[in-house]
Structure 1
Amino acid sequence: MTTVDVGDVTVGMESFGDDGAPLVLLVGGPTMLSWPDDLCERLAAGGRRVVRYDLRDSGESTTVDPDAPAYTLRDLAADAAALADALGGPAHLAGSGVGGMVAQVAALDHPGAFSALTLIGTRPVAPGPPDDDLPDHDQATMSRLFARPMPDWTDRDAVAEFAATGADILGDDPVAARAIAARIWDRTAGTTPSIQTANQIGTVFSRLDCTPRWRERLPEIEVPTLVVHGRRNRFFPVGNGEAIAREIPGARLLVLEEAATSVPDAAIGEVTAAMLTLG
């Protein structure tokens, strides 16, 4: 892991594979550790240079005040384009969850920076109430998720256990979530609640300016696109991925029947293979 300066922002990143290979850029959701090690290693073994990176206010990227971000969703999209350029792009850009929102806007605002697009477990509108034709979060799941008391953010084990119980509620692997949360905690710039929740939960997105809308522009995307979505995703139900795939010309939809919000270990090979077909 290292850092690179992109304009006036420092970005935490990690690279896999040959530096001269075609670039795959993985947008953190919010930290780079939202992307499984195994997926990165398999893409690299498939002849790609894989770079996963932290969004602002997470990991080793510039952290200022997650409670009042002085940047917008479009600034995060510009960071992706600038990083792709700095690494010798164009890049196959992939985003998961909130990182998928960044990736959509980046592909629209900076089309020359990207050669392909993968969108995993995301939706075509900003955080908040969705469009009437899109399924919202499963409310029973959200009630259970947000009824839990916050952990002691200074306690690594407590934070990891909090992540594990959340994963269990969402239908993800609690063992994997516990391990990843502990690794995220180790890389977080501080233990204050605002910084920890920005890293662990991505709460900065609830305070981020995500205007203007971009869904209506999705037909402008011309690069090969893969949309991956878990059939059991209760946070962004599968209808969101189906809508994205319908609205991006020629997009391929890959529904993982046994997956929820995360790509499970058993599906990493299938997702990797699908991503490699895009270039």
Structure 2
Amino acid sequence: MTTEQLFQAGGVELCAETFGDPADPAVLLIHGASASMLWWDARLCARLADRGRYVIRYDQRDTGRSTTYPPGRPEYAMSDLAADAVALLDALGVERAHVVAQSMSGGIGLILGVDHAPRVASLTFVATSTGDASLPPSSDELPRFEPPDFADPAALEEYVVRAMEAEAGESFDEVAARSLVRRDIARATDYESSLTNHYAMEFDGPRGGGFGDLAVPVLAVHGDRDPIFPLEHGEAIRDAVPDGRLVVLRGAGHELPERSWDAFVDALVEHTGAS
């Protein structure tokens, strides 16, 4: 059973969808920059629900049906997006959640784990980084794309699909990618805001410490073909936290491809079963 609902959360409107039994341990999925909740595939969410987890995916500000600001003018910082996650848990009546944060939202996960620790049962960092300047940079083989014509739906779709292809690992499912992008564009309040505003916000961090101050179980999940954050970034997360663990997705890039779902679900169910 799935539900999609608009919530008034901390002064903004957030659209969320849940999967599974609210009595089960809650798993809050937070995707990366520009990505609505659709980027957490509903079939993946259902698999987690079938394994005894209450799964929550949602649109962050400037994505999907949630509060959207004019392009280039986001009225929030990263810490505000973390506060949104807490407000959403409040609205859903969830006291503590296992937080899964992907890519850019690794920073949100860190803020939650440090500054909102009582609300976090565990953290999983997917395809993200500690941000240490000594880590390897993104691949120099990544293409550089000119900004799309936001008034041309076909050009906009092509821009996002080609960016997804560049970030993929050993294989790329273009049919699935186009389907996702078309649904995402159709559902968004303003797709230009979706593609720009997360990069224009203030990237503040936790007030109460850093990775070494996390007191919850931490799992890093990372593709060994990630061109944005090479594997060393996932290894750095594992090494930066007490008793950190790392699961390497062979052949995966800066995404969570369907062929990796079994490994991801098994690791996440194990990780979230301890508390």
TM value normalised by structure 2: 0.89
Between the aligned partners of 2:85 and 2:200, the Cα distance in structure 1 is 20
Q: CA deviation at 1:271?
A: 0.3
Aligned-pair identity in percent equals 34
Q: Which residue of 2 aligns with 1:185?
A: 185
Q: Given the alignment of the two structures, is residue 91 of structure 1 paired with residue 92 of structure 2, yes or no?
A: no
Q: Which residue of 1 aligns with 2:176?
A: 176
Between the aligned partners of 1:171 and 1:22, the Cα distance in structure 2 is 31
Partner deviation per Cα, 1:203-262 (whole Å, 9 max, x = no partner): 323211113478961111111111001110101111111111101111110111210011
**AA partner of residue 223 (structure 2):** G
Q: Which residue of 2 aligns with 1:255?
A: 248
Q: Which residue of 1 aligns with 2:13?
A: 10
Q: Which residue of 1 aligns with 2:226?
A: 233
Q: Which residue of 2 aligns with 1:56?
A: 61
Q: Secondary structure at the match of 1:219?
A: helix
Matches within 5 A, 1:136-215: 136-141=137-142, 144=143, 146=144, 148-172=145-169, 173=172, 174-190=174-190, 196-199=191-194, 201=195, 203-212=196-205
**AA partner of residue 136 (structure 1):** P
Between the aligned partners of 1:263 and 1:215, the Cα distance in structure 2 is 30
Matches within 5 A, 1:11-90: 11-29=14-32, 30-87=35-92, 88-90=94-96
Following TM superposition, where does structure 1 have runs of at least 4 consecutive aligned residues deviating by more than 6 angstroms? Answer: 213-216
TM-aligned CA distance change 1:227 to 1:71, over 3 Å: same
**AA partner of residue 108 (structure 1):** V
Q: Given the alignment of the two structures, is residue 105 of structure 1 paired with residue 107 of structure 2, yes or no?
A: no
Q: CA deviation at 1:176?
A: 2.6
CA contact (8 A) 1:160 1:177 kept: no
Partner deviation per Cα, 1:162-212 (whole Å, 9 max, x = no partner): 22222222235233322211111011113xxxxx2442x4x3232111134
Count of aligned pairs: 263
Between the aligned partners of 2:13 and 2:264, the Cα distance in structure 1 is 30
Q: Which residue of 1 aligns with 2:216?
A: 223
CA contact (8 A) 1:159 1:182 kept: no
CA contact (8 A) 1:55 1:61 kept: yes
Q: CA deviation at 1:58?
A: 1.1
Q: CA deviation at 1:54?
A: 1.0
Q: Which residue of 2 aligns with 1:128?
A: none
Between the aligned partners of 1:215 and 1:197, the Cα distance in structure 2 is 34
**AA partner of residue 69 (structure 2):** V
TM-aligned CA distance change 1:266 to 1:209, over 3 Å: same
Q: Given the alignment of the two structures, is residue 246 of structure 1 paired with residue 239 of structure 2, yes or no?
A: yes
Among residues 103, 122, 125, which one is paired with 1:119 in the alignment? 125
Between the aligned partners of 1:100 and 1:183, the Cα distance in structure 2 is 25
**AA partner of residue 39 (structure 1):** L
Pairwise CA RMSD: 1.9
TM value normalised by structure 1: 0.87
Q: Secondary structure at the match of 2:112?
A: helix
Q: CA deviation at 1:152?
A: 3.6
